[in-house]
Amino acid sequence: LLHSVMEGQKLKVVSHLAASISHEVRNPLTVSRGFLQLIDSDLNDREKKGYMKLAITELDRATEIINDYLTFAKPYPESVERIDIISEVKHSISVIQPLASMMNVSINAKIDLPSAYMHSEKRKFQQCLLNFSKNAIEAMSNGGTLTIQIARKDNELKISIQDTGVGMTKDQLSRIGEPFFTTKEKGTGLGMMVSHSIVKGMGGELMYESEPGIGTTVHLVFQVENVN
């Protein structure tokens, strides 16, 4: 128990720190990348071009870390507000659509439900939807289908994000969400750590179904307000 309390504290400190530096760090990264590309286009020296490519790759990696962590984060904690989960899921799909198209992934959305409300920080919830969808798409390097489904039973709302990708082994499943656990060459292993903690912070539950070679489904279950 003590161990898990410490882990929780550490996570809080880390997320807070991250949120406070995100915006300040993202801009200079973008600017530097632009200038490097500009210089690169004028370079003829093979060796220098190689270094330039390395520098750009490293900047991209830094940006990726920020994206996994804080795409929607504000430098200051946002207050909890009443959000419509259905419209938030719709919004996340429009955000992820360009990446899906680029990766030959078609999105199958079954989300036509009446508004369902709960209290949460909008941006954090968007961040976690985005991280789950991004992983689903990244699991389908040869294209596939991303199915996003919402079902409601009384006050329980279940969001299911399903892919037809590589799937996970038992061992991978047991490690998902562990800080820095990644199987990707350019992964950060931060996306799920952050997203699991957001779901739990919202009082939600989270379940995975996954089979290697078949795909993965993650179910997120939240308590929403009564209808009326």
Residues binding ligand ADP (CB under 6 A) = 68, 131, 135-136, 139, 163, 165-168, 172, 176, 181-184, 187-193, 216
168 CB neighbour count, 10 Å cutoff = 20
CB of 225 to ligand ADP, least distance (A): 30
Residue 76 vs 180, nearer CB to ligand ADP: 180
The C-alpha atoms of residue 221 and residue 199 are separated, in whole angstroms, by 9
Residue 191 vs 202, nearer CB to ligand ADP: 191
CB of 195 to Mg ion, least distance (A): 8
Burial status of residue 111 (CB atoms within 10 A of its CB: 0-12, 13-18, 19 or more): middle
Residue 116 vs 177, nearer CB to Mg ion: 177
CB of 28 to ligand ADP, least distance (A): 22
Task: Select from 141, 120, 156, 115 the least CA-distant residue to 215.
Answer: 141
Residue 117 vs 181, nearer CB to Mg ion: 181
**Are 136 and 160 within 8 A, CB to CB?**
no
CB of 89 to ligand ADP, least distance (A): 17
Angle at CA 18, nearest 5°, toward 32 and 117?
115
Residue 184 interacting partner from Mg ion, ligand ADP, none (CB closer than 5 to 8 Å by kind): ligand ADP
